[in-house]
Structure 1
Amino acid sequence: MVYVLLILGFVLLIKGADLFVDGSSSIARAFHVSPLLIGLTIVAFGTSSPEATVSIIAAIEENPGVALGNVIGSNILNTSLVVGVAAILHPLKVESTTIRKEIPFTLLASLALLILVSDQALQLAGENLLTRGDGFIILLFFMIFLYYIFEIAKNSREKTKEEETEDVKPSSWKKNTLLTVGGLLGILFGGELVVSNATEIAYSFGMSETLAGLTIIAIGTSLPELITSITAALKKESEIALGNIVGSNIFNILFVLGTTAAIHPLTVSNMIITDITIMIILTFVLLIFSRTNFKIGKIEGSLLVITYIVYMIYIIIRN
């Protein structure tokens, strides 16, 4: 029964995120918001909402390993497996702004997180903690990112408005609002099912909370990113594919972990610090790959997929 409830939770998370993205994206288009901006905000937030729900619920239920492992595991999966699979299906064209601003911002956010959780290494405390104060600092970084996003919106809105002249009927507003609200409810309920049942399964197999967060839960909550990016790659919408992944990683670190820590402080294990370091290295590798002819090709994609497989083997042996 536990496995059935876990699968049900993942179905609700994925379907809820899908409905949320569809509804909110349609509303955004009605306001003449550009596709690139939609990818970085609405789609990124929608596909990150399962991680947010799971991590916040886990923190409230005092499962810091699940809360942190879910976010770090999801970002590692996004940067390696999701980008890799999408690039293998169709080479991903990388916008110059993504190379100059968005990926470096992800790198900066990751480095800031590493510093904030390294209390023992910096001799600030006897244990590594992500405190409420740390959470508010991370949320300040998130505010800076939102300011950047709004600047993009201001610069691109008029251009998009000229290109898109579609009128939205009142019935469409009602439908899109219902889709958005319904999707959000599915995400919330699914998140509760995933946390409680995945934790129970992890304990029954002798897995730690951290390993469960890095593997079972991270893979489950990253399915929206995987599905969205693969679909975008197949449709040759590489801007949305890569923008969704980079945007989701930023949201995961800044919004999800910032909000989670602000609600409930998190104890950070040394294992998680190693995983954060791996996440930073992978983000740097993604930046290097992006600078090669402004695209991520099939060879780079294959290397990223292999890297994720090696990482999974490593964390299972480590446990």
Structure 2
Amino acid sequence: MSGLVVWAFSIFTGITILVLAGDRLSDKIIEVAMKAGISPLVISIVLVSLSTTLPEITTSALASYQGVNGIALGNALGSIFANIALILGLASMIRPLRAGRSAYENSLVMLASLVFLILLSVDGTLSRLDGAMLLSAYGVYLVWLLRKHARSEVDWEPSGDVKAFDYALLIILGLLLVGGAEMVVFGGKNIAKALGVSEFVIGATVVAIGTSLPEMTNALYGALRERGSISVGNIIGANIMNALVVLGIASLIRPLQTGASVLTVVLVLFAMIPMIVSLRRTGGLDRRIGAYFLILYVVYLVLIFSGVEL
């Protein structure tokens, strides 16, 4: 029992470090970018989505490096599912979310990224070549997005000098992220062994929810402030990054076996497709679909912890 307490504390502490250091690092990245004269468009499209996904990137990359395949894969796929079913479910129950046309368009990219991931992993493995292809696909998406919004770009002058301290702080915060991820992976793999459940289950639930806390904060804040585009847009951007960047980096480090992800992928589709249909028809997500999302997430937890064959 004492071992379980230590490992649970390791996960809790690691996730806390990931969230706090990730939040501070995201602010610092944007601050440095503005000082360096990088445009607001690039900051909003690239850096903000990257920043909120840093916990997932760090945790899955480290898990892959250490050969903990289940946590690397489960964290990414579990985060995608939690982002829609849990986070958007809660946000749309607080207040119906109005997202606009661009959310629908980018949700199609989100679905395409998942389909691309499925096609690459149909042989049961995400190879290093597959990882490179996932990262390349994200690069193509960024180019399309930047060109699409190029007309709205304005000149942006540097707001100050970037000092050595700024770069040092980025490095320190990055190291804290690595340390937090190390604690999460350490606790997760040991709890999985002690309880006799798979690493994928721990990665897809406890770790995935923990590393998705930045997205949850942004989504719930957007719902409370009646800014549905923030809630939905951030989740869509994070899910695209989870599918293409998080798993791209993880599989580039070490090939990932994907056999244990079938149930999660199916349920992700069960959530993603109704979400896209709702965005297409109404331009948002109402409380009915929010309730459906939450029920789907409860079903997922019951299935995954009851030992259903994945």
TM-score by length of 1: 0.86
* Aligned pairs for 1:227-266 within 5 A: 227-266=217-256
| Aligned 1:1-319 pairs, distance under 5 A | 1-28=6-33, 31=37, 33-34=39-40, 38-100=43-105, 102-119=106-123, 128-152=124-148, 154-158=150-154, 168-170=159-161, 180-269=170-259, 271-319=260-308
Opposite residue 20 of structure 1, the aligned amino acid is: L
Quote the Cα distance in structure 2 between the aligned partners of 1:297 and 1:183. 38
Deviation at 1:108, TM superposition (A): 0.8
CA distance in 2: counterparts of 1:241 and 1:44, whole angstroms: 12
Q: Is 1:32–1:157's contact at 8 Å kept on the other side of the alignment?
A: no
Deviation per residue, 1:254-285 (Å, 9 max, x gap): 1111111111111122x312322222232111
Q: Cα deviation per residue 1:174-222 (whole Å; 9 max; x = unaligned)?
A: 8865664443332221111101111111211111111111111111111
Of residues 147-156 and 214-223 in structure 1, the stretch that sits farther from structure 2 once superposed is 147-156
Structure-2 residue corresponding to 1:123: none
CA separation of 1:38 and 1:311: change in aligned 2, threshold 3 A: farther
Partners of 2:146 and 2:166 lie apart in 1 by 23
Preserved CA contact (<8 Å) 1:72 1:276: yes
More deviation, 108-117/70-79? 108-117
Residue 291 of structure 1: SS of its match in structure 2? helix
SS of 1:292's partner is helix
SS, match of residue 282 in structure 2: coil
CA deviation vs aligned residue, 1:11-65 (integer Å, no higher than 9, x gap): 1100011112222234455647457x65543222112111111111111111111
* Residues 71, 188 of structure 2: 8 Å contact kept: no
How far has the Cα of 1:110 moved from its partner?
Answer: 0.6
- Quote the Cα distance in structure 2 between the aligned partners of 1:29 and 1:296: 33
Does the 8 Å contact 1:16/1:185 carry over to 2? no
Identify unmatched segments of 5+ residues in structure 2.
1-5
User: Which amino acid counterpart does residue 208 of structure 2 have in structure 1?
Assistant: A
Distance 2:76 2:266 in 1: 13
1:134 partner amino acid: D
In 1, are the aligned partners of 2:103 and 2:229 still within 8 Å (CA)?
Answer: no
Give distance in 2, aligned partners of 1:287 and 1:29.
Answer: 34
* Aligned equivalents of 2:178, 2:144: Cα separation in 1: 28
Aligned 8 A contact 1:130 1:266 in 2: yes
Deviation sequence 1:146-176 (CA, Å, 0-9, x none): 2123224532222x86xxx9x83558x7886
Q: What CA distance in whole angstroms lies between the structure 2 residues aligned with 1:177 and 1:238?
A: 34
The question of whether the paired residues in 1 share the 8 Å contact of 2:188 and 2:199 is answered with no
Q: Per the alignment, do residues 308 and 176 of structure 1 end up closer, same or farther by CA in structure 2, a change over 3 Å counting?
A: farther
Name the CA shift for 1:285/1:40 in 2 (closer, same or farther; >3 Å): farther
**8 A Cα contact 1:106 1:250, kept in partner:** yes
Q: Report SS of the residue matched to 1:318.
A: coil
Query: What fraction of aligned residue pairs are identical, expressed as a percent?
Result: 27
Please say if residues 117 and 273 of structure 1, whose CA atoms lie closer than 8 Å, have aligned partners that are also in contact: no
* Distance in 1 separating the partners of 2:43 and 2:286: 24
